[in-house]
Amino acid sequence: MKLLRTILLITHIMVLFLLLGIFMNAYVPPKIFPWFNLLSLGFPVLMILYLFLSVFWVASWKKRAIVFILVGMIFLNPVKRWINYNSDPKENFDIKIVSLNVKAGSKGISHIEEYINSLDADIVLLQEYSRKEFQFEKLNNTKSDAINAIFTRYKIIDQKELIKSDFETNNAYASQTDIEIKGKTYRFINVYLQPFKFEKSMVRLNSSNEENEQKLKDVVKRLIPTFKKHQEQVKAVRKGIDSSPYPVILAGDLNSVPNSYEYYQLSEGLKDAFVEVGKGSATSFHDYKFPLRIDYIFASESIQPVSYKVDRSVGLSDHYPVIATFKIKN
């Protein structure tokens, strides 16, 4: 039993250091050391293991349980970026925003149109738009790329590309759209960072250890270069945020999980609407069994989140729609 506890203690310490390494994503870019960003993908598994071991020490009446529990408190905010609890909203909202990766309307354009119309949203941001002919009630389409589109019922002041797509080398896209709402201008940034382009067969493990090992190596070989592309793309999006004379709402498919380099860089100076008012799980990509939150809505301090919902009642693409409402501060 003593040997088992020693092994578990060493394991617990190792898990703790791996979790602490994830914090380095706020400071170390992927081009310098991409392995910290790789750790962010495993955060849910590492956190569950950390909690399980902490419970074991509590059940064993070991004083070290107190230490691990106190240290574990520093992971409260990182956990809230994945799973959170807030009470139901008690105030009215001024604007409703929907963000959805529609996967080129592969599951039916009419279904997407019907769903979006039922929401009565003010702003709709689509990713993997592919220039499909979507028609939404009360919403006008602005200038769009083959990747992204934004629809709004309000007046467009200006629009600019931040990342331009190139299907040979770059499938990412981002745009900024300045929109006048109730006499005040807001900047909406619609983001789709470089996808990893995984097929299910590439990540599905089988009975052969040798094949599984090769699959793992192939996955890592695809992840690392994409992380490095994200670094350049994040830099371009940050310019749109930092240069904005208006309050900013950033939404879209970041192809990155919470606590990643991308998350820390793009959320700087903005509020994560799910952390502020979300409830339950923020998982938004459902094509794999592993929990993945890669769709987000962030807002400037002057824009108060009222509600945030990942709508799992519909299967319009491999992403669930993200719906958030906000109150505009005077």
pLDDT band at 56 (very low <50, low <70, confident <90, very high): very high
User: Do 222 and 319 share a structural domain?
Assistant: yes
User: Do 274 and 191 share a structural domain?
Assistant: yes
User: Do 124 and 24 share a structural domain?
Assistant: no
Edge-first strand order for the sheet with 140-141 is 140-141, 149-152, 123-127, 95-101, 322-328, 303-310
Q: What mean pLDDT is reported for the chain?
A: 90
User: Model-level pTM?
Assistant: 0.92
User: Do 115 and 28 share a structural domain?
Assistant: no
CATH number reported for the structural domain that contains residue 146 in this entry:
3.60.10.10
User: Do 55 and 198 share a structural domain?
Assistant: no
User: Do 89 and 75 share a structural domain?
Assistant: no
Last residue of a domain, one of 21, 48, 80: 80
Domain count, the chain: 2
pLDDT band at 5 (very low <50, low <70, confident <90, very high): confident
Q: Give the range of the structural domain holding residue 62, as residue numbers without chain letter.
A: 2-80
- Which residue in 242, 256, 136 sits closest to 192, CA to CA? 256
Last residue of a domain, one of 40, 62, 80: 80
First to last CA, the chain: 63
Distance CA 240, CA 166 (A): 20
Determine how β-strand 322-328 pairs with β-strand 303-310.
Answer: antiparallel
User: Do 128 and 218 share a structural domain?
Assistant: yes
Last residue of a domain, one of 26, 47, 80: 80
User: Do 241 and 269 share a structural domain?
Assistant: yes
Q: What are phi and psi of 226, to 5 degrees?
A: -70, -40
Residues 13-31: what's their mean pLDDT?
96
User: Do 75 and 201 share a structural domain?
Assistant: no
User: Do 135 and 28 share a structural domain?
Assistant: no
Rounded percentage of the chain residues whose pLDDT exceeds 70: 92
Among the ranges given (102-116, 176-190, 269-283), the one the predictor scored with the smallest mean pLDDT = 102-116
User: Do 142 and 7 share a structural domain?
Assistant: no
User: Do 227 and 166 share a structural domain?
Assistant: yes
